[in-house]
Amino acid sequence: MKPYKNKNREKNLQNFILEIPKKEILGKCILCEKNVSDPYYSFHIEDGYIHFECAIKYIKEMAYSMRIKNFRTIYLGGKKFGIISDREKGENKKWNIIKKVDLEEIIEYKKNTNLKY
């Protein structure tokens, strides 16, 4: 017994070409100087764009330079990040915001330290 073949479908698949839209380059990241192509994972400021991941890297570096131990980095909203520490009290887990960091502070930190990722 021969397996069933749909010849019309095979012809249609041969002519089918998947076109993937090209990503539009929005600009360069101020921190890493690579292209920014996704507006959902980047911040637009007056000077240009910043990747979300680049901002996190610089905030972690800021926390290490301030000698903060056992911290996490979170996005607070409004182009602001927070360096937080966890503390446990009984069953409830609470956390403290050690420092709020704005995107302008990250840019100033990069200029002062000359870090490159």
Q: What's the pLDDT tens digit per position in 53-97?
A: 999 999 999 999 889 888 999 999 999 999 998 877 667 778 889
**Whether the Cβ atoms of residue 48 and residue 61 lie closer than 8 Å to each other:** no
Answer whether 0.75 is exceeded by the pTM. no
DSSP 8-state symbol, 94: E
The position carrying tokens 């479908």 is: 9
The position carrying tokens 């021969």 is: 2
Helix ranges, 1-117 (H): 7-15, 52-65, 103-113
**How far apart, in whole angstroms, are the C-alpha atoms of residue 57 and residue 42?**
14
Nearest to 57 by CA among 79, 36, 31, 35: 31
pLDDT at site 75:
93
**Whether the Cβ atoms of residue 43 and residue 53 lie closer than 8 Å to each other:** no
